[in-house]
């Protein structure tokens, strides 16, 4: 874990130092990082099943789900525009904790921390992303309502030819419609 983690955490800085950074390289690194995470947790899950410690196998599965969702929540929020770099349990922190937990023979405690901490980070990213998207949208709508009232026309054909108000466009764009 130490050797693999060290190599894995250094590949990005090495690529930047050698000026060999590409969008595809970053994408591929992210995919390979997720597989590396999953292999660590899957190894723990299989171990706990084999030694008949089923509660710890479930715990490893919850920690694994949290680890994957931390990365997914960040990637999905970033695709919406706002930065979602909040929370503590990104990959380097998880990897260091797993290494320390393995070295001091406290993997059960490590899994509890990761299961709880990772999922709290996911919730934090959800709340933060909501504030960056829907929260700002609601503020914009409230401000636009206070700024200028939209004139009401009884002429249906005139209403159909008018452009919709900006907050309606923003709302549908924010939901992916």
Average pLDDT of the segment spanning 63-91: 88
Per-residue pLDDT at 69 exceeds 80: yes
More confident residue, 8 or 67: 67
Q: What is the count of structural domains for the chain?
A: 1
What percent of the chain shows pLDDT beyond 70?
A: 82
Contact yes or no for 99/44 (Cβ under 8 A): no
CATH number of the domain at 122, please. 1.20.120.1760
Average pLDDT of the segment spanning 106-118: 97
Q: Mean pLDDT for the chain?
A: 82
Residue 161 burial (C-beta neighbours within 10 Å; 0-12, 13-18, 19+): exposed
Give the helix/strand (H/E) hosting 56.
helix 54-80
pLDDT at 147: 63
DSSP string, 100-116: HHHHTT-HHHHHHHHHH
3-state secondary structure of 176: coil
115 closest CA partner among 94, 87, 85, 129: 94
Residue 45 burial (C-beta neighbours within 10 Å; 0-12, 13-18, 19+): buried
pLDDT digits (tens, 9 = 90+) for 2-53: 887 777 777 778 888 888 888 898 888 888 889 988 999 999 999 999 999 9
Average pLDDT of the segment spanning 106-130: 95
Residue 148 — pLDDT band, cuts 50, 70, 90? low
Could you tell me how many helices (H) and strands (E) the chain has, helices first? Answer: 8, 0
Q: What pTM, to 2 d.p., does this model score?
A: 0.71
pLDDT at 59: 98
- Structural domain including 85 reads 2-174
Per-residue pLDDT at 152 exceeds 80: no
Q: Which residue has the tokens 């999953």?
A: 38
Q: Which of 6-20, 82-96, 156-170 has the highest mean pLDDT?
A: 82-96
């Amino acid at each position: 874990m130490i050797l693999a983690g060290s190599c894995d955490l250094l590949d990005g800085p090495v690529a930047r130092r050698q000026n060999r950074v590409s969008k595809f390289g970053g994408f591929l690194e992210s995919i390979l990082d997720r597989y590396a995470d999953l292999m660590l947790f899957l190894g723990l899950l299989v171990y706990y099943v084999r030694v008949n410690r089923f509660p710890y196998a479930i715990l490893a599965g919850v920690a694994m789900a949290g680890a994957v969702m931390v990365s997914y929540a960040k990637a999905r929020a970033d695709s919406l525009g706002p930065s979602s770099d909040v929370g503590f349990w990104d990959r380097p922190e998880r990897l260091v904790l797993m290494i320390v937990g393995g070295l001091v023979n406290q993997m059960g405690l490590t899994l509890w921390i990761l299961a709880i901490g990772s999922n709290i980070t996911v919730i934090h990213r959800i709340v933060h992303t909501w504030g960056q998207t829907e929260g700002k949208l609601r503020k914009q709508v409230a401000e636009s309502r206070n700024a200028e009232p939209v004139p009401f026309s009884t002429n249906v054909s005139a209403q159909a030819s008018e452009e919709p108000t900006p907050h309606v466009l923003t709302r549908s764009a924010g939901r992916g419609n």
